[in-house]
């Protein structure tokens, strides 16, 4: 009770509230600019928060990163340019809703599911932090390998109608992820002497190329009648959202739970959480039309809740054990150390007011997301009023500067053109792009954990099956692949004409 009063006292501080509002606006603006990620928003904040008190410093990071992850949905839904990689999983669904004149529904569903996902993960963070962190700590490279492969299995479910083309796209993405220095020995691979390739193909330029440039290539070739049709207004963002969230409560809950769990695992961030949640929901829609409005919204709310919930989940190992769940919490941990808030089990004994205030800020930030998010959507929605002829080169310039701002090289700008053309041809040939993107994101994790496990065991494949947790994850992963293959065979058998 004493702690609760102390926490309320901290939260009602005007200075803290001003910091939260300012960092919320900052996070929304940065997240909504394609190419600028929540991680970048956090990194850019570090020099500023160094001059703040400990709780406002962490509050600024929590608020701005949560806002940036949501704001990534806005350009994704309006221009098919995911603002952050965490929004990439459902960009196509969100954008297709916009094209159907339902931009308000798409953005509103994203906003409210983000808020609910964030609130639920904050609740879990506050109540069950130590227990969840203990489970995550039992993971070795083998369990991480299976978890990443399970993530890849999702690609088969998020892919298009052809399982083979989905797998080919996935392998292609994994192949692209091997460009650069080998994670174990540091040997350059597929770099052909190009220095810019040593660090690998940057994820953001690739996402910009795959999603935005390929879309621009399609829109410039559209006949004028289609151009006019593709400019609906945003519409109401909040109307009917309460009912919508209640109708899709299962998906929101699923996304929030998955997001919190995935976020709590060190190394797996909001983007992987969104992909997994998206795939699980897509799989649960078996037998329904994937292009139906309700199905699109289900996938959107599930993944939208997951990516924001992952943010809260990542703070579980960060605050309880001082192990970062992702790059953002790695920065948070260093800021906490610098501010004398040493993360670890003792923080709950030594500094309970500070740590519970940090947890409480998650609730405040997520509630604040509703009014500020709507304001941000309204401002950004004005873009739809610009004629598409003018919008195309403006988006193109945003893509160019976005790619350049992440990598600071013109090489990254060139990459968006090449990948954009590749994405265009892949889509034209019914090769789904989502598995390739997932392969790119998970490729380094899979290779690192696979090689570490193989080297540890001296080449014995049995290492992947010799721990109970590993066996459980292996059964789920291999089972999902077998199920996907079996379902495709059944579908093919059903589709075959019956000879009489």
Which residue of 47, 193, 287, 458 would you call a contact of other proteins, by CB under 8 A?
458
Q: Indicate whether 195 belongs to the interface with other proteins (CB under 8 A).
A: no
Which residue of 413, 436, 437, 440 would you call a contact of other proteins, by CB under 8 A?
413
| Alpha-carbon gap, residue 426 to 468, rounded angstroms | 40
Q: Name, in order, each residue with C-beta under 8 angstroms of 3's C-beta and a sequence gap of 6 or more.
A: 352, 353, 356
Identity of the residue, 190 or 337, whose beta carbon is nearer to other proteins in the bound complex: 190
Q: Indicate whether 172 belongs to the interface with other proteins (CB under 8 A).
A: yes
CA 378-365-277 angle, 5° bins: 80
Identity of the residue, 215 or 298, whose beta carbon is nearer to other proteins in the bound complex: 215
Helix, strand, coil content of the chain in percent (nearest 5): 80, 0, 20
The string of DSSP letters for 268-323 reads --HHHHHHHHHHHHHHHTTTS-TTSHHHHHHHHHHHHHHHHHHHHHHHHHHHHHS-
Stretch that binds other proteins, among 150-158, 357-365, 367-375, 384-392 (CB under 8 A): 384-392
Give residues 10-29 in contact with other proteins (rule: CB under 8 A).
Answer: none
Q: Indicate whether 488 belongs to the interface with other proteins (CB under 8 A).
A: no
Backbone angles phi, psi at 148, to 5 degrees: -65, -40
Tell me if 426 sits within 8 A of 433, measured CB to CB.
Answer: yes
Q: Which helix (H) or strand (E) holds 189?
A: strand 188-189
Which residue of 2, 12, 185, 496 would you call a contact of other proteins, by CB under 8 A?
185
Tell me if 132 sits within 8 A of 324, measured CB to CB.
Answer: no
Least separation in angstroms between residue 413's CB and other proteins is 5
Give residues 269-298 in contact with other proteins (rule: CB under 8 A).
Answer: none
| Alpha-carbon gap, residue 373 to 370, rounded angstroms | 5
Least separation in angstroms between residue 40's CB and other proteins is 9
Identity of the residue, 429 or 462, whose beta carbon is nearer to other proteins in the bound complex: 429
Q: Indicate whether 36 belongs to the interface with other proteins (CB under 8 A).
A: yes
**Two structure tokens written together for 466:** 């010799």
Q: Indicate whether 216 belongs to the interface with other proteins (CB under 8 A).
A: yes
Q: Indicate whether 194 belongs to the interface with other proteins (CB under 8 A).
A: no
Residue 238 exposed, middle or buried by CB count within 10 Å (0-12, 13-18, 19+) = middle
List residues binding other proteins (CB under 8 A): 30, 33, 36, 44, 162, 164-165, 167-168, 171-172, 174-175, 178, 182, 184-185, 187, 189-190, 213, 216-217, 220-221, 389-390, 392-394, 396-398, 400-401, 404-405, 408, 410, 413-414, 416-417, 420-421, 424-425, 428-429, 431, 447, 450-451, 454-455, 458-459
């Amino acid at each position: 009770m004493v702690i609760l009063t102390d926490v309320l006292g901290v939260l009602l501080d005007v200075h803290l509230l001003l910091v939260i509002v300012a960092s919320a606006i900052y996070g929304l603006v940065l997240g909504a600019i394609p190419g600028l990620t929540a991680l970048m928003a956090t990194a850019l904040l570090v020099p500023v928060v160094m001059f703040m008190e400990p709780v406002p410093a962490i509050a600024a990071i929590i608020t701005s990163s949560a806002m940036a992850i949501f704001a990534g949905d806005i350009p994704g839904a309006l221009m098919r340019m995911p603002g952050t990689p965490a929004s990439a999983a459902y960009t196509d669904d969100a954008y297709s809703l916009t094209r159907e004149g339902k931009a308000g529904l798409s953005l509103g569903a994203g906003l409210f599911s983000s808020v609910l996902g964030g609130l639920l993960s904050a609740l879990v963070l506050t109540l069950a932090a130590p227990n969840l962190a203990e489970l995550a700590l039992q993971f070795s490279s083998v369990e991480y390998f299976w978890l990443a492969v399970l993530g890849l299995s999702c690609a088969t479910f998020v892919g298009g109608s052809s399982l083979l083309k989905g797998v080919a796209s996935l392998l292609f993405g994994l192949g692209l992820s091997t460009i650069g220095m080998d994670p174990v020995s540091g040997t350059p691979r597929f770099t052909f002497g190009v220095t810019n390739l040593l660090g690998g193909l940057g994820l953001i330029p690739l996402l910009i190329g795959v999603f935005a440039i390929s879309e621009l290539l399609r829109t410039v070739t559209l006949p004028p009648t289609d151009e006019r049709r593709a400019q609906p207004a945003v519409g109401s963002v909040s109307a009917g959202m309460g009912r919508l969230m209640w109708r899709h409560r299962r998906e929101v809950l699923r996304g929030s739970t998955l997001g919190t769990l995935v976020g709590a695992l060190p190394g797996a961030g909001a983007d992987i959480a969104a992909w997994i949640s998206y795939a699980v929901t897509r799989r649960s829609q078996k037998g329904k039309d994937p292009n139906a409005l309700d199905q699109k919204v289900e996938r959107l709310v599930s993944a939208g809740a997951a990516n924001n919930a992952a943010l809260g989940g990542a703070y579980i190992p960060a605050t309880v054990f001082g192990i970062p769940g992702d790059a953002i919490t790695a920065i948070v941990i260093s800021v906490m150390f610098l501010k004398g808030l040493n993360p670890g089990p003792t923080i709950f004994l030594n500094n309970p007011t500070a740590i519970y205030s940090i947890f409480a800020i998650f609730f405040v930030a997520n509630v604040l997301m509703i009014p500020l998010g709507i304001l941000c959507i309204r401002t950004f929605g004005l873009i739809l009023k610009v004629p598409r002829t003018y919008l195309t080169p403006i988006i193109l310039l945003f893509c160019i500067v976005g790619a350049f701002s992440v990598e600071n090289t013109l090489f990254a700008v060139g990459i968006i053109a090449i990948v954009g053309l590749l994405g265009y041809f892949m889509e034209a040939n019914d090769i789904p792009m989502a598995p390739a993107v997932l392969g790119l994101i998970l490729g380094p994790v899979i290779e690192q954990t696979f090689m570490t496990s193989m080297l540890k065991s001296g080449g014995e494949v049995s290492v992947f099956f010799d721990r109970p947790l590993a066996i459980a994850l292996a059964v789920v992963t291999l089972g999902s692949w077998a199920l996907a293959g079996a379902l495709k065979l059944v579908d093919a058998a059903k589709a075959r004409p019956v000879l009489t």
